[in-house]
């Protein structure tokens, strides 16, 4: 990073999907942000995580001009069930009058599309520039890397993690996600499966010709599960999932520890926390990046070429506008884990009744589908 004395309007720490999407959205509203990324540029193109993108996210990515470049598999239906209990339901795009309930893409594909668009728009991206310290001031903040110092009116923290300090709420679910892709004996037909088990939820998402697996399990079992040889892993997955699909091959497994972490407020003095740095959610409902994109959309709208983007009035307005959707999405995801991760018979009955009600009542299905598609502000 070259030494410069000019105060930047907006510095974005972290060039992951959230930071890059924000830089593009700001440019769309006539503001300029500069990205400071610890890793080499392009590392995001290797990100193996799978993202379930909602229809609302598609609309935001279209507005950012990157949707056409993302290799996305449409989800025509979602099948929801619980292992060892009655009740199941199926949400379909047809019933909701949408081209798809959502889409599945790798974080690598989303990252590559965003990175290409940043290059075309000539948005500054400083790679190998880990920000080691930020000193927050009243007029501006100072950012320090190993070799340099910059000042900015507003600092966006999009670094994908958050320190456990007084402003952070942490709930450790004691679970990890083992992720991989599997091949199936018959085509997946663009159906996604969400199966709740007492070990944690199991999600299978259609991704090109394969299914992407997010297999949640107790943290202490994750290592053993991930390290099973392919045949044993497939047998375990098959037993866990049931017989609706037959699995024939699996890719290398990776593990992610799962916690709910969120900052009580996503804004502070000359600071905004975005994406996983603002809230890290359990991936059960695939809400993390979708929520981040809705935050990106609102934040960029609130800072149109502002003279001082770090002015508290802009930040307070942004936080107020996002509060309902943010709290509801965090609460919805957390409630799913509490409700479906509990093996008491009463809970099993309640889950079954809930799924049955969902199956029998189209308005309730529409409600759940719209929440997954647009977030809490859809009504």
Ligand X SMILES: Cc1cc2nc3c(=O)[nH]c(=O)nc-3n(C[C@H](O)[C@H](O)[C@H](O)COP(=O)(O)OP(=O)(O)OC[C@H]3O[C@@H](n4cnc5c(N)ncnc54)[C@H](O)[C@@H]3O)c2cc1C
Per CB under 6 A, contacts with ligand X among 30-49 are 36-39, 49
Among residues 57 and 85, whose Cβ is nearest to ligand X? 57
Q: Which residues contact 1 (CB under 8 A, 6 or more apart)?
A: 36, 126, 129, 145, 147, 148, 150
Q: Is 160 a binder of ligand X (CB under 6 A)?
A: yes
CA 237 vs. chain centroid, Å, equals 24
Rounded to the nearest 5°, which phi and psi values hold at 208? 50, -125
Closest to ligand X by CB, 60 vs 93, is: 60
Cα dihedral angle (238, 239, 245, 246), rounded to 10 degrees? 50
Q: Which parts of 266-285 interact with ligand X (CB under 6 A)?
A: 275-277, 283
Instruction: Indicate the residue among 4 and 343 with the shorter CB distance to ligand X.
Output: 4
> Exactly one of 52, 108, 245, 358 binds ligand X (CB under 6 A); which one?
52
The least distance separating ligand X from the CB of residue 21, rounded to whole angstroms, comes to 8
- Least distance to ligand X from the beta carbon of 219, Å? 13
Of the residues 14, 200, 201, 309, which one makes contact with ligand X according to CB under 6 A: 14
Among 77, 162, 177, 234, binds ligand X (CB under 6 A): 177
Stretch that binds ligand X, among 114-122, 158-166, 344-352, 366-374 (CB under 6 A): 158-166
How would you classify the pairing of strands 149-157 and 88-92? unpaired
- Backbone φ, ψ for residue 28 (5° rounding): -65, -20
Neighbours of 47 (CB within 10 A): 17
User: By C-beta, is 78 or 292 nearer to ligand X?
Assistant: 292
Please give the Cα distance from 267 to 287 (Å, whole number): 20
Q: Mark out the alpha helices in the chain (DSSP H runs).
A: 17-28, 55-63, 93-96, 107-121, 219-226, 230-241, 288-302, 312-340, 345-360, 362-374
Tokens standing for 1? 């990073």
Cβ proximity to ligand X: between 82 and 106 the closer is 106
Query: In 3D, which of 5, 274, 40 has the Cα closest to residue 155?
Result: 274
106: its two tokens: 């790798």
The distance of closest approach from Cβ of residue 329 to ligand X in the complex, given in angstroms and rounded to an integer, is 10
Please tell me the chain's helix, strand, coil percentages from 3-state DSSP, rounded to the nearest 5: 40, 30, 30
- Mask: binding to ligand X, 286-315, rule CB under 6 A, as x and -? xxxxx-x-----------------------
Q: How far is the CB of 36 from ligand X (least distance, A)?
A: 5
Give 335: exposed, middle or buried? Use CB within 10 Å, 0-12, 13-18, 19+: exposed
| Residues 6+ away with beta carbon under 8 Å from 81 | 87, 88, 89, 193, 194, 195, 196, 242, 355
According to the binding rule CB under 6 A, does residue 329 interact with ligand X?
A: no
- From 15, 85, 310, 341, residue interacting with ligand X (rule: CB under 6 A): 15
Q: How far is the CB of 199 from ligand X (least distance, A)?
A: 15
CB of 159 to ligand X, least distance (A): 4
213 three-state secondary structure: strand
**Residue with smaller CB distance to ligand X, 41 or 90:** 41
Touching ligand X, residues 105-144 (CB under 6 A): 107, 130-131
Contact set for ligand X, span 220-259 (CB under 6 A):
256
Instruction: Please give the residue ranges that form the binding site for ligand X (CB under 6 A).
Output: 13-19, 36-39, 49-52, 107, 130-131, 158-160, 177, 179, 214, 256, 275-277, 283, 286-290, 292
């Amino acid at each position: 990073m070259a030494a410069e004395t000019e105060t930047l309007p907006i510095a974005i720490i972290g060039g992951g999907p959230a930071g890059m999407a924000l830089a593009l959205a700001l440019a769309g509203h006539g503001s300029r942000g500069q990205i400071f990324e610890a890793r080499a540029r392009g590392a995001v193109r290797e990100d193996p995580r799978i993202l379930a993108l909602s229809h609302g996210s598609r609309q935001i990515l279209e507005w950012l001009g990157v949707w056409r470049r993302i290799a996305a598999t449409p989800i025509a239906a979602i099948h929801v069930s619980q292992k060892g209990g009655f009740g199941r339901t199926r949400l379909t795009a047809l019933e909701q009058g949408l081209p798809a309930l959502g889409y599945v893409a790798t974080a690598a594909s989303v990252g590559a599309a965003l990175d290409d668009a940043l290059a075309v728009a000539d948005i500054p991206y400083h790679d190998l520039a880990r920000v080691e310290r930020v000193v927050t001031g009243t007029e501006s903040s100072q950012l320090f890397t190993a070799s340099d110092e910059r000042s900015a009116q507003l600092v966006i923290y999009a670094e994908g993690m958050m320190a456990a300090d007084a402003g952070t709420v942490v709930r450790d679910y004691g679970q990890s996600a083992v992720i991989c892709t599997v091949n199936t004996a018959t085509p997946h037909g663009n159906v996604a499966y969400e199966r709740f088990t007492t070990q944690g939820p199991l999600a299978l998402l259609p991704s090109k010709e394969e299914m992407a697996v997010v297999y949640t399990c107790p943290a202490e079992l994750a290592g053993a599960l991930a390290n099973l040889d392919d045949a044993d892993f497939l047998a375990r997955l098959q037993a866990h999932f049931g017989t609706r699909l037959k699995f024939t091959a699996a890719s290398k497994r990776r593990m992610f520890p799962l916690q709910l972490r969120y900052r009580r407020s996503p804004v502070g003095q000359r600071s905004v926390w975005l994406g996983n740095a603002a809230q890290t959610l359990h991936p059960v409902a695939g809400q993390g990046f979708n929520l981040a994109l809705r935050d990106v959309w609102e934040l960029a709208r609130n800072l149109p070429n502002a003279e001082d983007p770090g002015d508290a009035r802009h930040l307070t307005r942004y936080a107020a506008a996002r509060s309902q959707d943010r709290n509801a999405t965090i609460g919805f995801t957390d409630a799913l884990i509490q409700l479906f991760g509990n093996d008491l018979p009463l809970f099993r009955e309640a889950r079954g009744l809930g799924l049955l009600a969902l199956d029998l009542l189209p308005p309730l299905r529409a409600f759940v589908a719209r929440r997954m598609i647009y977030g809490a502000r859809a009504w």
